[in-house]
Chains A and B, each alone.
Chain A
């Protein structure tokens, strides 16, 4: 039997043994027995001395080839067996992935806060400041400087929590118009502000009335502000809060501190404008009041209405939240039932 034949045979036998091995120990034994220093291949190579010089390199190369092949086969077999062991272990570790995750403590922002934040972010992006004013106001700012003199029918005692004759719980965020107009330095640029906050009315709490609720006032005063700008601004607001599909329409209304005064309606959520009982078959829902700031308001705050003018609007986050989410009782916002507070979890 030639050396080459011998090597061939060793090669075949080796591969068979590798194939037969069933665990890592086997594989190791096979490796030692085949490729070890006392193994047959080494032995065969030792016999090369007897070959002539011409044959020697050929057989040597062949032997190396076989050794490499067996080494590769051993490595492969070992990996196979290792994988099998690992897979068996992992199979053992299988869990029910449908079991609930471990609870984490996580709090949610109040739904009204979410709406206020959304409004703030929108107007910050358009260059407005966010201002906050006192909740306990002077009659002067809450009414008089908003063009509601003492005998005005729109300020009947019924609606206002007075503390003294001149001090009251603000009934609206509008006094912040007067307060900011008084202070603003127009040489530094236009006045663009929103002012969110809590307001109070002398009402009995029921599903649609709350003695405490929120408003966001908006005010823009400059030399060339138009009613078209107001319309555009309200449209941007409606799109931000409700989505692009919602149209805004303006209707005439009356507020002592704006002229012209308008109320803004948006397309009814419930029916998309077709008409339903939510919108009293009009296809529209009233969402806010607005208008061009009344010259008297500017004058009383020391701003020249012949030079400056602009618009103001007031929105009710409570009403927005009720409309947007179909909340049927305004008291939910102030009773803080955890089952209510944790319903509004969508972020971004």
Chain B
């Protein structure tokens, strides 16, 4: 809501600049989006009197005008507006002036005719299209006849006022009105404020003979109407138009403007009906019936059902309650009798109706937040009073009342001890009482106990905590002390799972992978690729796009998306890891379980080429090295083994391995299948994914000290030819099993299957290291053990020792 600084000043004696006032509101009450003074940035824009208008010789729409701008000689200005006429007072941007959008106006020629300045439309000096009176939307604006040529136009148009745009939180519906804002400011600045009290003159007939309301109090706790007859529809006076357009409303006519003005002032939405268009004298507030239709003021057509609340006459709905009036009973230039409606509708109904019909109006916004239920009659009376003053209307005697449920004010007990205990302050009772009273609350005290009666207009305050907020904000958050919690000590430590997750990240970063965070919501296709266990997919009910519609069941595809993003931007070397959750769902369960995973993906080279080293493209063994090093860091108590897996559809059948601990599969790694890589538009990419939760849950090996032997080690190399099917794992397992007591390690140092090796065979070479921890090894002992291994290799694996 845009609230006028000048309007506030009419009621409150404040000696602060608009920006400071806005800052104070923001610090104490509600957020402020903006403070705008419409004349700011404009220069040399004055009143002009159009002395003559002649057609431009070379144009069918331009006119040559002589305009008195209060100087010795009139200015000649060429104007293209259709509504320019002799005798008008107009807005003139002089040569050298600045209009909206920081545009400079200079002397110029238009189709050969010199033009000294410009006659302006309101839009050209910064007005939004939405607030310009309909008559002037497509032409220049005409100022009142008593304007003085040469004067700045700003004051005539209310442009020197400052407008503070309040972003009102859902709880502070009271701030959507001048009166509510004034009451808050009165407390903030600790100044008295007297609000206007309407004085309606009822000079007409009794309303009871002319109008009867039948309202369902469950739908509308309050529903009231007044009748004003003999109304003359005219444009509103300037002061009222200015109030409205400065608040963002288009002036329409006196009656409609009055209803908007009263809403701004009191926060009470009103609706003006043309009483003569009613079918009969009865008005109903009821649920709509299926099949009923209503055309609203904005000419929108709505199919109604029994969820909607409507105002109806004897025949049909005439308004969508609390949202918008109907077209058939709307105020026109011919209207003479106005029925003014002031009501309270249940916020829930209004919110749903506004949503259902996609009609979010200023009225519905206020009903949704709750309006002042004690101020309905005041607002109605104020509107009737204004219709007498501004439209010569005759207010009929009495108010037609359909329902009249005014709630009881909240009465809240509060103790000073509690106030200070929660706020951390040492406020005195008198101070607290004063703050509450300055907000218009009534406080009864007994010792340090208070009983606070909250005015009905503050529908956000029900419990002591609500009062604490009022006290704290008016007292000032800056004034609160700054302390830290005290009390019983607590330990702040990470759980072992959290420590392991941190260690996981540090380990993989140390191994050269950058941490990525990808989207967990993905496409249906990607969600179910690279699956490590069967699962039903989990779909969003109303996704925003198919790109993010299903919960991922793997982490790898997110990383492939990331690689694709990099590849498309010519970043060729990408090494990423991600720690995040996958979502597995069992059929029959709505809710998936969440499992922590860790995944990595590398494309291009991990170690970029330097001037002294060539680039080496990532391969299976590099990613295996990373996985092995990471698993070593995690110190899982158990053998880690790798088994070829040719069956994962998204993976290269010959370059993929399952990762097992104690024979239990915890993940996979290898090369992404070239057809999948192609789908992602990426090059050769190696990935791994591990069930991190499984790693967390597995028993770990503690670090331990192993004495470093003082006795020398003896090494023996062995090279052999074996059939292609024999794996390194088999050979190493055999050597380790048969290597004897002193075998410390087996290390592969060469693999060769080139031209010198017979087809179907490969050559492998290992270094075996022997050591006795307690004495120097005898060469013979080693030779014996070594020969035993050689024999076993020949016998068991068909190795040909070279």
Chain A interface residues toward B at CB < 8 A: 99-100, 102-110, 112-113, 117, 120, 123-130, 134-136, 138, 151, 153-154, 156-157, 161-164, 166-167, 169, 189-190, 192, 198, 200, 202-204, 211-212, 220, 222-229, 231-233, 235-236, 249-254, 259-263, 280, 282, 292, 294-295, 309-310, 333-339, 341-342
Contacts and interface: CB of A to CB of B under 8 A. Distances in A.
A99 B368 CA distance: 69
B469 A259 contact: yes
A333 B539 CA distance: 24
B423 A249 contact: no
Interface extent on B, as a size class? 35 or more
Nearest to A108: B514
Given A154-B170, A226-B421, A250 B571 contact: no
B466 A338 contact: no
Interface string B506-539: 0011111111111111000000000000000011
B172 A254 contact: yes
Given A125-B492, A341-B516, A161 B540 contact: yes
Contact of A228 (B368, B423, B468, B592): B423
Given A100-B611, A202-B544, A231 B574 contact: no
B607 interface: yes
Given A135-B594, A226-B422, A262-B477, A252 B509 contact: no
Nearest to B600: A107
A169 B540 contact: yes
Contacts of B29: 252
Interface string B366-400: 00100000000000000000000000000000000
B787 to A, nearest CB: 42
B490 A127 contact: yes
Given A112-B517, A227-B472, A107 B511 contact: yes
B462 to A, nearest CB: 10
B754 to A, nearest CB: 29
B364 to A, nearest CB: 11
Given A136-B551, A229-B485, A107 B565 contact: no
B505 A109 contact: yes
Interface string B556-585: 000100100110010101111100110100
Contacts of A249: 27, 477-478
B516 A336 contact: yes
B348 interface: yes
Interface string B461-484: 001011011001100011011111
Nearest to B513: A107
Nearest to A281: B19
Contacts of B480: 227-228, 231, 250
Given A124-B493, A198-B520, A107 B512 contact: yes
B171 interface: yes
Contacts of A161: 521, 540-543
Contacts of A164: 541, 590
Contacts of B23: 282
A130 B495 CA distance: 8
B542 A151 contact: no
Given A110-B515, A136-B583, A136-B592, 15 more contacts: A109-B505, A113-B505, A124-B493, A134-B594, A153-B351, A157-B542, A161-B543, A163-B538, A163-B539, A198-B520, A226-B483, A232-B483, A236-B484, A259-B466, A338-B574
B482 A113 contact: no
Contacts of B492: 123-129, 192
B487 A336 contact: no
Contacts of A104: 512, 607
Contacts of B802: none
Contacts of B368: 153
Contacts of B170: 153-154, 254
A167 B591 contact: yes
16 contacts: A106-B512, A108-B509, A109-B515, A110-B517, A124-B494, A135-B581, A135-B583, A135-B594, A212-B519, A225-B485, A226-B421, A227-B472, A229-B484, A250-B477, A292-B465, A336-B518
Tell me which of B23, B26, B347 has the highest count of chain A C-beta atoms within 10 A of its own C-beta: B26
Nearest to A254: B169
B485 A251 contact: no
Contacts of B498: 130
B447 interface: no
Contacts of B575: 105, 107
Interface string B748-767: 00000000000000000000
B548 interface: yes
A324 to B, nearest CB: 17
B30 interface: yes
Given A107-B575, A128-B492, A228-B424, A166 B566 contact: no
Contacts of A253: 31, 169
A263 B551 CA distance: 33
Which of A200, A251, A292, A309 counts the most B-chain CB atoms under 10 A from its CB? A251
A164 to B, nearest CB: 5
A163 to B, nearest CB: 6
B610 interface: yes
Nearest to A133: B594
Nearest to A124: B492
Contacts of A339: 569, 571
Given A136-B538, A153-B170, A231-B480, A337 B494 contact: no
Nearest to B348: A151
Given A105-B575, A225-B485, A211 B468 contact: no
B774 interface: no
B540 A163 contact: yes
A120 B499 CA distance: 12
B542 A189 contact: no
B515 A341 contact: yes
Nearest to B490: A127
Contacts of B26: 251, 282
B491 interface: yes
B613 interface: yes
B516 A110 contact: yes
A211 B31 contact: no
Contact of A189 (B30, B488, B544): B488
A289 to B, nearest CB: 11
B347 to A, nearest CB: 8
B421 A138 contact: no
Interface string B593-627: 01000000000001110111100000000000000
Nearest to A166: B590
Interface in B698-751: none
B145 interface: no
A148 B591 CA distance: 21
Contact of B422 (A222, A262, A292): A292
A127 B491 CA distance: 5
B468 A107 contact: no
Contact of A128 (B473, B490, B519, B592): B490
A102 B614 CA distance: 11
Contact of B610 (A102, A151, A333): A102
Contacts of A250: 477-478, 480
B425 interface: yes
Given A228-B481, A251-B477, A127 B576 contact: no
Contacts of B517: 110, 112-113, 333-334, 336
Interface in B77-124: none
Contacts of A198: 520, 580
Contact of A342 (B172, B514, B518): B514
A252 B565 contact: no
Contact of A108 (B466, B515, B541, B544): B515
A337 B591 contact: no
A74 to B, nearest CB: 41
A142 B58 CA distance: 70
Contacts of A107: 508-515, 575, 577
B446 interface: no
CB-based closest 8 A-B pairs: A228-B424, A105-B512, A226-B424, A260-B469, A254-B169, A250-B477, A124-B492, A336-B562
